[in-house]
């Protein structure tokens, strides 16, 4: 029952997919974080189905409606919870205040000017990258949604927490940390293997972007906030997804417009 309840908690928290209610007890929270990457499985599947459907309808790569749909699917499925963290962290980083003040800004429910600016820039860059990516490539990138959520979850159970309160602390305290670390590592290995098997260059590039963003993220949270929390884990997820999309778009351009000869 603990696994099933953990599954329901993870999907009710990190997606808009309807789930039966489950008590957020210590026992039920024990393995909840381990199911976060499975939300990425759903997102990847929907993105692939959408890309395939556009091909069937004759809607070519780069057309505006196709680009918009593929851009918003991750946000619609997740309910924007990670994007909310990205915006909060963007506001805090742009404040140039001390660590404690930055942490206070993270708790502010109001969106500041820099959050709105970063949101606009984010979606422009994301949509621009999607416009260059072929439908077939999304069948490789689908694993990226899983891998990045594994990295986001891994940060909660491996990095020092900024504060011992909040959602990240709730998941971390309730988690069986050693088991969750193993789960996340297995998710990542499976995703990297699958991506490299399907397209070696693209798989290695996605993995490289993931590692670079993770290294920067770890340095950033310790330097600017003194540790990680849920908002910062969301920031990592969004920045990593954007970075992978841009890298895939650049690789496609460098390959003459197609990664599949």
Top-ranked range on mean pLDDT: pick from 61-65, 75-79, 257-261: 75-79
The two three-digit tokens of residue 62, written as one number: 């780069």
Top-ranked range on mean pLDDT: pick from 17-26, 50-59, 236-245: 236-245
What pLDDT score does 171 carry?
A: 62
* pLDDT at 232 exceeding the cut of 70: yes
The answer to whether 248 and 202 have CB atoms below 8 angstroms apart is: yes
Q: In whole angstroms, what is the distance from residue 162 CA to residue 168 CA?
A: 9
Distances (CA, A) of 47 to 50, 98, 188: 5, 40, 20
The whole model's pTM is what?
0.91
DSSP for 207-224 reads: HHHHHHHHHHHHHHHHHH
User: Which pLDDT band holds residue 170 (cuts at 50, 70, 90)?
Assistant: low
What pLDDT score does 165 carry?
A: 60
Q: In whole angstroms, what is the distance from residue 224 CA to residue 221 CA?
A: 5
In the chain, % of residues over pLDDT 70: 90
The two three-digit tokens of residue 209, written as one number: 């972007």
- Taking residue 145's Cβ as centre, other Cβ atoms within 10 Å add up to 27
In the chain, % of residues over pLDDT 90: 54
* pLDDT at 183 exceeding the cut of 80: yes
Which tops the pLDDT comparison, 213 or 18?
213
7-50 per-position pLDDT tens digit = 888 898 899 988 887 777 777 777 888 899 999 999 999 999 99
Question: Stretch 112-141: mean pLDDT, rounded?
Answer: 92
| Average pLDDT of the residues of the chain | 88
User: Which pLDDT band holds residue 173 (cuts at 50, 70, 90)?
Assistant: low
* pLDDT at 73 exceeding the cut of 90: yes
Rounded to the nearest angstrom, the gap between the alpha carbon of residue 138 and the centroid of all alpha carbons in its chain is 15
What pLDDT score does 33 carry?
A: 87
Question: Stretch 197-223: mean pLDDT, rounded?
Answer: 94
What pLDDT score does 261 carry?
A: 67
DSSP letter (8 states) at residue 178: H
User: Which pLDDT band holds residue 186 (cuts at 50, 70, 90)?
Assistant: very high
């Amino acid at each position: 029952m603990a696994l099933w309840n953990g599954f329901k908690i993870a999907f009710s928290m990190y997606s808009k997919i309807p789930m039966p209610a489950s008590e957020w007890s210590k026992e039920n929270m024990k393995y909840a974080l381990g199911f976060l990457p499975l939300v990425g499985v759903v997102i990847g599947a929907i993105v692939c189905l959408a890309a395939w459907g556009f091909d069937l309808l004759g809607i070519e790569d780069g057309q505006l409606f196709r680009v918009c749909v593929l851009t918003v699917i991750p946000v619609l499925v997740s309910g924007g919870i990670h994007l909310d963290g990205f915006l909060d962290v963007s506001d805090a980083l742009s404040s140039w205040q001390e660590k404690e003040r930055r942490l206070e800004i993270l708790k502010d429910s109001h969106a500041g000017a820099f959050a709105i600016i970063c949101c606009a820039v984010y979606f422009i860059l994301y949509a621009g990258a999607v416009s260059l990516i072929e439908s077939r490539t999304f069948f490789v990138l689908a694993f990226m949604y899983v891998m990045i959520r594994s990295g986001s979850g891994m940060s909660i159970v491996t990095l020092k927490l900024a504060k011992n309160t909040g959602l990240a602390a709730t998941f971390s305290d309730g988690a069986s940390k050693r088991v969750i670390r193993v789960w996340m590592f297995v998710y990542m290995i499976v995703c990297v293997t699958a991506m490299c098997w399907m397209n070696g260059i693209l798989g290695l590039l996605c993995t490289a972007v993931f590692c670079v963003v993770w290294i920067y993220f770890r340095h950033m949270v310790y330097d600017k906030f003194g540790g990680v929390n849920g908002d910062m884990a969301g920031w990592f997820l969004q920045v990593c997804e954007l970075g992978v999309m841009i890298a895939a778009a650049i690789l496609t351009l460098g390959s003459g417009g197609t990664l599949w000869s």
